[in-house]
Amino acid sequence: MLHSRLTRWFIGGREKLWWIAGGCAATALVLMSCSTTRTIVAPPNIAGATFVGSESCETCHDQITRDFNTATHARLTSQEGKEIGCESCHGPGSKHVEAGGGRVGIINPRRSPETCFQCHQDVKGQFELPHRHPVLEGKVSCSDCHNPHKGPAFKSGGTNLAGTNETCFQCHSVQRGPFVFEHEALRQGCNTCHQPHGSVNQKMLTERNATLCLKCHSQTQTAGGVIVIGGRDHAGSLTRGTCWSAGCHEAVHGSQISSSLRF
């Protein structure tokens, strides 16, 4: 008797869990389907200013507004459901229009990343890590790497990882090459090895020490104390530090003289 009751309780409880899980999944699906079209944001506040619409911006900024409908940020709306376009990031523009333009009565996100951080809180946290681009110091702007006014938010295209390198090469020209022997990881994109916003590791690397290299360069232990990588025993080398600082593969981006990426 007790056994049958426990069995019924277990089966009933399991069915309830399935119903709950199914309901949660359906709710998540609905929310996801909604979020793919419009994202609700709270625009910056400018005391005494009111919203005038992106049409008012076209008078002076026609080259920017012309292609803005293709931009990722064009899908932003206010909490009231209004499509406020430019004013989503620059704040209500009535005072700016009344002043005849210039830098009066408007917010310039290029001068302060806080405007971007209102929505991108996760990125703000990454910029608090010890190794990062100097965005908080004003030496680098979010718009140096991201295009808020046209197309995908990544200047080189959001899905084109190889193209993303071109954004990095704007500042890191030495790493561009060309190299006689290139590091194939560059074909996958700089962010294969680097976290562009910030990292706990030096040089904004995604992993520490040899762990980063071993994500692609597999190791095999053929015998006791023997660790083979690339056909050679690396047991003694791995204890000397990182692959690029142990006196072995210093030319991590590419080499002109060695296929093993050595200077």
> Is residue 40 assigned to a domain?
no
Pairing of strands 39-40, 76-77: parallel
* Of the ranges 50-59, 92-101, 145-154, 161-170, the best mean pLDDT one: 92-101
Same domain, 126 and 100: no
This prediction has a pTM of 0.71
> Is residue 150 assigned to a domain?
yes
Same domain, 215 and 259: yes
> Is residue 127 assigned to a domain?
yes
Name the domain boundary from 206, 227, 246: 206
Compute the distance between CA of residue 235 and CA of residue 29 in angstroms, rounded to an integer.
49
> Is residue 29 assigned to a domain?
no
> Is residue 17 assigned to a domain?
no
Same domain, 228 and 178: no
- pLDDT number for residue 45: 85
Tell me, what amino acid is at 104? V
Same domain, 145 and 197: yes
Tell me which residue has tokens 């290029």. Answer: 110
> Is residue 30 assigned to a domain?
no
Same domain, 87 and 133: no
Mean pLDDT of 43-55: 87
Q: Which two tokens stand for residue 251?
A: 């030319």
- Regarding predicted confidence, which is higher, 38 or 9? 38
Looking at the predicted structure, is the pLDDT value of residue 26 above 50? no
Q: How many C-beta neighbours within 10 Å does residue 87 have?
A: 28
Same domain, 132 and 202: yes
Q: Which two tokens stand for residue 23?
A: 């309901």
Name the domain boundary from 53, 88, 108: 108
Tell me which residue has tokens 């990062």. Answer: 132
Owning domain of residue 213: 209-263
**DSSP label at 257?**
S
Same domain, 154 and 198: yes
Same domain, 74 and 59: yes
Residue in 112, 109, 135 with CA at minimum distance from that of residue 196: 135
- pLDDT number for residue 136: 92
> Is residue 24 assigned to a domain?
no
Name the domain boundary from 172, 191, 206: 206
Same domain, 124 and 195: yes
Same domain, 162 and 234: no
- pLDDT number for residue 32: 36
> Is residue 31 assigned to a domain?
no
Same domain, 183 and 198: yes
- What are the backbone angles phi and psi of residue 114, rounded to the nearest 5°? -60, -30
Same domain, 217 and 202: no
Domain count, the chain: 3
